[in-house]
Amino acid sequence: RKVRTRYAPSPTGYLHIGGARTALFNYLFAKHFLGDFVLRIEDTDVARNVVDGEKSQLDNLLWLGIIPDEYPTKENSKYGFYRQSQKLKRYWDLAHQLIAQKKAYLAFDSPEEIQLQKQEQEKKGIFSFRYDRNWL
């Protein structure tokens, strides 16, 4: 099978050194194994997205010589849906399918209730939080 790696920045800011490093490693790994490097945009935090954040990410990668084989604005990309927001309906449908199959369930705990559960577990010496499945 052909190797496919991806770099998935959020357009809530601009490319920084840590993101460039991650993109470079994924790009080099894909190219070493004659695979594809994909740029996918994690754009679901709409309130924090910055104007031209997506374009800036791509432009900076290209300037660094990190050239994605597939990305949101490239014509004739192989698989499509390179923005997470384009997959929300699919995720919603799959979540409902899992709930219908009893493989997932809805929970309505508030952040305060979760924090209280965590504190109670820590008092018992449990420091890796375990959700109590209260809503089953």
5-9, 11-15, 93-97, range with the lowest pLDDT: 11-15
- With cut-offs at 50, 70 and 90, classify the pLDDT of residue 92: very high
Q: For residues 84-93, b (16+ Cβ closer than 10 Å) or e, as one string? A: beeeeeeeee
Cα distance between residue 71 and residue 75, in whole Å: 9
| CATH 3.40.50.620 for domain 4-87 | yes
Q: List the end-to-end C-alpha distance of the chain, in Å, as a whole number.
A: 40
Mean pLDDT for the stretch of residues 3-10: 96
Per residue in 28-65, pLDDT tens?
999 999 999 999 999 999 999 999 999 999 999 999 99
Ordered by start, the domain boundaries in the chain are 4-87
Q: Which two tokens stand for residue 99?
A: 């709930």
**What is the residue-averaged pLDDT of the chain?**
93
